[in-house]
Amino acid sequence: MTRPGPGSVFSGTSGTARPPTLPPMTTRLLRLFSVLLCAVALAVALTVAASPGASAAAAPPVDYVALGDSSASGQGTGLYDLSGSPCWRSSAAYGPLWAQRHAARSFDLLACSGATTLDVLATQVPQIPRDTDLVTLTIGGNDVGFWPIMQTCTFAVDDQVCLAAIGQGTVIATTVLPLRLSALLVAIHRAAPHARVLVLGYPRLFELGPCPAPVPNETRRTALNAGADLLDQVIGTVTLAVGDTFVDVRDRFTGHGICAPAGQDWINGPLAGVDTYHPDRDGYALGFFPALTAFTG
C-alpha cells in the first residue's frame, strides 16, 4: 500500500458525540495558554492597526491563500492536477473550490501533505503576498502524530498499544501544539496584515457500529474520536484566543465517516493507497467547503 501523507486528525465517530471532558491539568494548561494568547492577540491587533488601510473591510474579489497540511491540499480526492507527490494538491480541495465559486482575484494553494505547524511557518508563510485578503489554514494533525497513530490503531494486535499512541498524541496536543499554532498565526498576520484568517478543524473519520477489518474496532474508533475532539478543541481555543475564526467541520461530516452506509461515506478507508484516511471529493465539496462558506458567505 502506498504510504499516505499524514495530515487529517486522530480520527472519529458519528452522531451527537460531544467533545470529551478535559482532565484538570489539561484545562489549567489551556487557561494558561488563553492568558498568554491574549497578549498575542494584542500584538496582532497592533500590527494590523499600524498598517495603512487596515481598518477597511476587504471587498470581493479577494486575494486568497490556502495554507496547511493534506486536509487543505486536497489529498484523498484522487485528483492531483495541481501537484503530485509530496504535496498532493488538488483542484477539488476546499481552497480551490472556494476561489472558483467566489471569483477570487488571485489564489495560491500552498498547503502540502505532511506539513506541521513548523513546516508551514518555514516554507508556506514566506510565500504569502502582503496584500492577501483571506487566509485559510488546516494544521495540527501531523504535529500530534496523525499517521503513526492511525497506522498503530489500524494494525496493532493489542488495543492498549493503540490507546497508548493516542495518549502520546494528546500530550503533544495540549502542551506543544498551542504555542506552535499561536506563533504560526502571529506570523501569518505579520506576513499579510490585512488578511482575515480562518482555521478549519478536522472531521471525525469514523462512524461507530459494525465495520469489517482492517478498519479499527469500535473500542479504538471511540478513543480516536475522543482524540479528534480534543485536537479540535485545542485548535479552536488557540484560534479564538488569537482573534481569528475557527471553522468546526465535524457537524458537516456527521454520518459520513468510514463505516457509514454505502454511498454516504465521505472518508477513504484504510486500503485506499495515498488517499487512505483522507476525505474524498464529497468530503471536500459537501463537508469542508460549505463549512467554510458559512463563515465567508
- The rounded distance, in Å, linking the Cα atoms of 170 and 10 is 9
Q: 189, 194, 256, 278: which is the annotated catalytic residue?
A: 278
Q: What distances in angstroms separate CA 114 from CA 12, 28, 39, 81, one per listed residue?
A: 20, 30, 30, 18
Q: 8, 11, 14, 70: which is the annotated catalytic residue?
A: 70
Please, where are the H alpha helices in 82-158? 94-101, 117-119, 146-155
- First and final C-alpha spacing in the chain: 40
Residue 107, H or E segment: strand 106-109
Closest CA to 225 of 177, 247, 258, 176: 258
Let me know if 278 is a catalytic residue. yes
Three-class SS state of 16: coil
Closest CA to 119 of 183, 188, 68, 73: 68
Three-class SS state of 137: strand
Name the region of 126 (left: φ>0; alpha: ψ -120 to 50; beta: rest): alpha
Question: DSSP states of 217-261 as a string?
Answer: -HHHHHHHHHHHHHHHHHHHHHHHHHT-EEE--HHHHTT-SBTSP
Let me know if 194 is a catalytic residue. no
Q: Any idea which residues carry the catalytic annotation?
A: 70, 278
